[in-house]
Copies of this chain bind each other. A is one copy, B any other.
Amino acid sequence: MKARPLKNYLLAPGPTAVPAEVLLQIASPTIHHRTPEFEKIVSGVREQLKEVFATTQDVIVLAASGTGGMEAAVTNTLSPGEVVLCVNAGKFGERWLNICRTFGLEVEELRVEWGRPVEAGAVESALRRRPEIRAVLVQASETSTAVLHPIEAISRLTRAHDTLLLVDGITAVGVTEMPMDRWGIDVLVSGSQKAFMLPPGLAFIALSERAWRASESAKLPRFYFDLRRERDNLHKNTTAYTPAINLMYGLSCALGMMLEEGLPAIFARCDRLMRATRAGAQAIGLELVAKESPSPAVTGVFTPPGLDGGAIQKYLRYALGVEVAGGQDQFKGKILRLAHLGFTGDFDVITVLAALELALSRFGAEIAFGRGVGQAQTILAEALPPAAPQG
């Protein structure tokens, strides 16, 4: 395989492409973090993050990947031996389980077939069967299967019980509506390399009043991820430990871009790109992974029978410069995941579909060039403004 083309497209569900404006901010000289200049950045970011999380609570920024945020969610709200309900519908659901077991929690596992959303009714049954369940842990968007779980419906159940709702919103916050306060989510986690249009390295986490109260009695050990210490520092516009200073420049810039576009416009964009990607993939003849409740962050498609998904993924990368994600575990070699969150637009969908058509035809599939692209255009056209009147 020859070297990559000159121009490359990062269309995986994280890391995602970073706008040049943000990269340039990150390239600004590193300043010291115990200065009024840096405190001003923290103070600005603090207010902007509340808007994105739709909460009046503090949103803590951690120098960590999203998994660090997930661990912080667990260790700051729970105590050894407590019972938790983990929704396991994919690779990231499994991660909740692994974290909880590592810290000595008793895990009630709610297994869901990969590619399907959890049913709120199943959560309800589990809560009724074991009222001692202290927390429900679930992904908002399960990135490994490209499925959206029904967080609003689940939150109605957890609010009715004395049960915390810990949500991995890593590919959901800034992608689709996830109003923390209104829905009563107790812990909401996200990460920089998704909707936030940044390189990896930052995790975001917000706790409800109820979760902050739980943190007072939570006995699981945490030091670096002690959120009470971070909150106390945040109130002084600083951080407990050395922050990822240059990423914070980028965060400030990217949050400005997000709020300028507006959250409703972002949600509409991700939804439109999802619908266009799905329509295009189906027109190419590909089977969708998520038959219902698809994630507006990423679309999963099964590769045609007899073709190795991993080989197609590599071909897209090296021959066409298009980086998409493959499948994990039971989906390894069987699916491709095409992202449409963060810094993506209409022509990323066009690019990824045209690239798929080209690659699949090279792998011997019967492909009518332009058919998938054309179907996607039909969806994208719906959102276009009318032409100016002709003079």
Contact of A387 (CB < 8 Å), options: B27, B350, B362, B377: B362
A361 at the interface (CB under 8 A from B): yes
Q: State in angstroms the CA–CA spacing of A197 and B204 once bound together.
A: 37
CB-based contact B381/A354 at 8 Å: no
In terms of DSSP, what is the predominant structure of the interface of chain A? helix
Report copies per complex: 2
Q: B residues within 8 A CB of A343?
A: 6-7
CB-based contact A370/B381 at 8 Å: no
Contact of A269 (CB < 8 Å), options: B6, B23, B348: B6
Contact of A390 (CB < 8 Å), options: B307, B345, B350, B372: B307
Q: State in angstroms the CA–CA spacing of A69 and B306 once bound together.
A: 58
CB-based contact B321/A345 at 8 Å: yes
Q: B residues within 8 A CB of A369?
A: 373-375, 377-378, 381
Q: B residues within 8 A CB of A2?
A: 385
Known: A307-B390, A343-B7. A374 touches B364 (CB 8 A): no
Known: A347-B7, A371-B370. A377 touches B358 (CB 8 A): yes
A9 at the interface (CB under 8 A from B): yes
> A339: shortest Cβ distance to chain B, in Å?
14
A20 at the interface (CB under 8 A from B): yes
Nearest neighbor of A379 in chain B, beta-carbon distance:
B369
Instruction: Give how many A residues have a beta carbon under 8 Å from the other chain's beta carbons.
Output: 59
Contact of A350 (CB < 8 Å), options: B5, B257, B373, B378: B373
| Residue of A322, A343, A347, A351 with most chain B CB atoms under a 10 A cut-off | A347
A31 at the interface (CB under 8 A from B): no
A171 at the interface (CB under 8 A from B): no
CB-based contact A363/B387 at 8 Å: yes
Contact of A373 (CB < 8 Å), options: B269, B348, B373, B390: B373
A160 at the interface (CB under 8 A from B): no
CB-based contact B374/A370 at 8 Å: yes
